[in-house]
Every structure is written in structure tokens, then in C-alpha cells.
């Protein structure tokens, strides 16, 4: 997620220079052919591109609206993660209890296990989601973040960590473990039937959070829309200098380039925003949210501030 108000030119050119070079070359060629060699074959009236306007507006509007919707839904999902993480911790610390004061220590340790395993779940899901999709692997990125399952190690017992790493779906394994522990607490009498079910409901919320994230991760915006929007922007911007050249002469070059850049940017922004879990600068800020969650939960466990993770600081105006 970008937080600085102004984007740096360098960052913009990193992602657009190839196309801009093409449009520069194209409009220069057309101007040269038209004005110097007087080849008028590329000269077309303005209403030809006007006819494309409607279709282009629908495609580009579509792509950007739905890309943003995906991005914002991803952020909402991880917002729920924050909310329910806090709720889960409160429930663990206030609803799991024993009326026998001898068990106090045992209960405390048990509560800590449930909360730490949850922190592990949050980090595990982040790592699970940040594995790049094959169709996004070939793009070179200016900024990336580190994400490995080892981040969950401090929050799991050694044995659990080993099994965890061998699973097909590691985050789901942790939820299953939480369920087993609730079952255990119920059998020990630390949870009534009713509180057991209530806490299971909170686990279902985490199932939802994981599943909704996976949905966005594994389902790209329909390619039929994104592919054609790219193609039609190309067609439209290729026709642009042909429309401009007869009246504008050499001014065609800067103006066609400027207008092309606008359409190019519109298409590219949609393209970059649509996948919010690809370890890129437009990502949902899962790393910083993980830090927030860990801090909040440890505070709720009344741990000393020394144990808190380091505050997350944006670098280059980017929050991962």
C-alpha cells in the first residue's frame, strides 16, 4: 500500500517506460512520414476514435472499479482479522476459566497457547497468501517484502511447528488445532457447552477470513475483460497520432504522448490494483497489520512492553 501523497517519477517510469517508448516512436514516425515525406495514408478523421470512446470507457471503468473492489474487499477482510483477533483474545482470557483456583497457572498457560497459536495463524495466512501466482511471476518489482513460514515459529510449540510445515494448507491446520483445544477445555470443564460453541463461532469467522482471502487470491478478474481493455487501449492510442497529425504537426508528439500516457496509466493502475496479495507495493498491508495484531494481543495478555514487536515503519512511502 502506498501512503505518500505524491508518486515518484522514477516509480512511474519503472512500470511504463516500455510502452511510452513505443508511443514516442510511433508518433514521431507518423509526424515524420506525414510532414516530411507527405505520406497521408495515416491521416484519419477524429470521429473514428470518438466511436471507440464508449467501449473504452466501459472497459476501463469496469477494470478499475472491480480492481478497486477486490483491493478494498481484501483490506476489509484483513480488517475483520484485526477485530476478531482482539475479540478472540478477550474471549480466551475471560471465557475460559476454572472455578478451582489451583488450576490458575494451567489455565493461564492454556490461554497463552490459544492466543499465540492465533498470532501464528495470522502470520501463516499472510505467508500463504503472499506466494506469487504463476501468472504474476514474470513481472519485475521495485519493492518486495520478506514472508516465510519461519515467522510463525516463536508462536508454536516445536512439534506443532513441524507438523504445521508439512501440511497442504497450514493455516487451516492451526484452526483445526484450536478446535481440538476447545474440545479439550470443554472436557476439562473450563468451558461450558455454551461458551464452547460461542468460541467455535469465532473460529468460523477465521475460516471465513481465510476462505475469502483465498477466493480473491485464486480468482483473477475475468481475463476476458482485462485482456481486451489492454488491447483496446493499444488500438485507441495507436490511432491517436493519426487523428492529430494533420492539424497539429510536430505538436502531435507531446500531445499524443500525454493523452496516451493518461490511458496507459488508467489501464496499468487497474492491472496493478486487482491482485492485492502478490507481495507488491500495492498490496494489502498484511505485514503491518500482523505487527498491529501481535502488539494488541500481547497487550491484552498483559505482557510486558519489551515483548512487543518493533513498530512497523513505512519505507519509501510504502506499507507492506
| Residues within window 255-284 making contact with its own copies, judged by CB under 8 A | 255, 258-259, 262-263, 265-266, 269, 272-273, 282
Three-state DSSP at 309 gives coil
Range 174-213, binding its own copies (CB under 8 A):
175-176, 179-180, 182-183, 187, 192-198, 200-201, 203-204, 207-208, 210-212
Closer to its own copies by Cβ: residue 28 or 43: 43
Give whole-number Cα distances, 213 to 138, 216, 240, 303, 312, in Å. 23, 5, 40, 30, 22
Which residues neighbour 79 within 8 Å (Cβ) at sequence distance 6 or greater? none
CB of 41 to its own copies, least distance (A): 8
Quote the cell numbers at residue 140: 519485475
- As measured in angstroms, the least distance from the Cβ of 148 to its own copies is 21
Q: In the stretch 291-320, what mask flags binding to its own copies with x, by CB under 8 A?
A: ----xx--xx----x--x------------
Q: Where are the alpha helices (DSSP H) in the chain?
A: 9-31, 47-95, 104-130, 158-166, 170-188, 193-218, 223-248, 252-273, 286-300
In 3D space, the residue among 184, 291, 266 whose CA is nearest the CA of residue 16 turns out to be 266
Minimum Å gap between C-beta 294 and its own copies is 11
Distance CA(311)–CA(291), nearest Å, equals 7
Least spacing, CB of residue 31 vs its own copies, in Å:
15
Q: Say which residues have a Cβ less than 8 Å from residue 144's Cβ, sequence separation at least 6.
A: 279, 280
Query: Nearest approach, Cβ of 153 to its own copies (angstroms)?
Result: 21
**φ, ψ for residue 219, nearest 5 deg:** -115, 100
Tell the smallest beta-carbon distance from residue 173 to its own copies (Å). Answer: 7
Using CB under 8 A, which residues numbered 94 to 123 contact its own copies? 94-95, 97, 99
- CA angle in degrees (0–180, nearest 5) for 32-34-36: 55
Site for its own copies in 231-250 (CB under 8 A): 232, 235, 240, 243-244, 247-248
- Binding segment (CB under 8 A) for its own copies, from list 104-112, 116-124, 147-155, 163-171: 163-171
Within 8 A by CB and 6+ apart from 88, the residues are 114, 115, 118, 199, 202, 206
d(CA 38, CA 32): 8
Tell me how far, at minimum, the Cβ of 194 lies from its own copies, in Å: 5
Q: Roughly what angle, to the nearest 10 degrees, separates helices 104-130 and 158-166?
A: 30
Binding characters for its own copies, 30-69, by CB under 8 A (x = yes): -----------x--xxxxxxxxxxxxxxxxxxx-xxx-x-
| Ranges within 214-233 binding its own copies (CB under 8 A) | 214-215, 219-220, 222-228, 232
Is 139 or 148 the residue whose CB approaches its own copies more closely? 139
Give the range of 2-10, 111-119, 141-149, 150-158 binding its own copies by CB under 8 A.
2-10
Binding mask 120-149 for its own copies (x = CB under 8 A): ---------------x--------------
- Could you tell me which of 280, 272, 242 has the C-alpha nearest to residue 259? 242
Q: Minimum Å distance from CB 218 to its own copies?
A: 8
Site residues for its own copies, 69-88, by CB under 8 A, read 71-72, 75-76, 79-80, 82-84, 86-87
Please report whether residue 173 would count as binding its own copies according to CB under 8 A. yes
Amino acid at each position: 500500500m502506498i501512503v505518500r501523497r505524491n508518486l515518484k517519477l522514477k516509480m512511474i517510469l519503472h512500470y511504463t517506460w516500455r510502452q511510452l517508448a513505443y508511443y514516442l516512436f510511433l508518433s514521431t514516425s507518423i509526424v515524420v512520414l506525414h510532414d516530411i515525406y507527405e505520406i497521408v495514408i495515416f491521416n484519419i478523421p477524429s470521429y473514428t476514435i470518438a466511436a471507440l470512446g464508449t467501449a473504452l470507457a466501459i472497459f476501463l471503468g469496469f477494470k478499475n472499479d472491480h480492481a478497486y473492489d477486490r483491493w478494498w474487499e481484501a483490506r476489509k477482510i484483513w480488517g475483520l482479522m484485526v477485530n476478531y483477533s482482539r475479540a478472540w483474545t478477550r474471549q480466551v482470557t475471560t471465557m475460559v476459566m476454572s472455578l478451582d483456583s489451583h488450576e490458575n497457572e494451567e489455565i493461564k498457560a492454556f490461554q497463552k497457547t490459544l492466543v499465540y497459536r492465533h498470532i501464528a495463524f495470522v502470520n501463516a495466512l499472510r505467508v500463504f497468501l503472499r506466494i506469487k501466482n504463476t501468472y504474476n511471476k514474470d513481472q519485475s518489482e521495485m519493492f518486495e517484502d520478506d514472508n516465510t513460514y519461519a515467522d510463525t515459529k516463536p508462536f508454536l510449540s516445536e512439534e506443532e511447528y513441524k507438523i504445521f510445515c508439512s501440511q497442504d494448507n497450514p493455516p487451516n491446520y492451526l484452526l483445526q488445532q484450536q478446535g481440538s483445544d476447545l474440545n479439550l477445555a470443554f472436557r476439562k470443564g473450563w468451558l461450558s457447552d455454551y461458551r464452547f460453541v460461542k468460541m467455535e463461532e469465532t473460529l468460523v469467522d477465521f475460516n471465513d477470513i481465510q476462505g475469502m482471502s483465498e477466493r480473491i487470491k485464486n480468482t483473477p478478474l475475468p481475463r476476458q475483460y482485462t485482456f481486451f481493455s489492454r488491447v483496446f487501449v493499444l488500438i485507441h492510442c495507436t490511432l491517436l497520432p493519426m487523428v492529430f497529425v494533420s492539424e497539429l504537426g510536430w505538436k502531435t508528439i507531446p500531445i499524443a504522448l500525454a493523452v496516451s500516457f493518461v490511458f496507459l496509466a488508467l489501464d496499468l493502475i487497474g492491472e496493478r490494483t486487482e491482485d492485492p496479495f502478490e507481495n507488491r507495493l500495492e498490496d494489502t498491508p498484511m505485514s503491518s497489520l500482523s505487527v498491529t495484531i501481535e502488539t494488541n494481543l500481547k497487550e491484552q495478555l498483559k505482557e510486558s512492553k519489551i515483548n512487543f514487536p518493533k513498530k512497523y515503519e513505512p519505507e519509501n512511502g510504502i506499507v507492506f
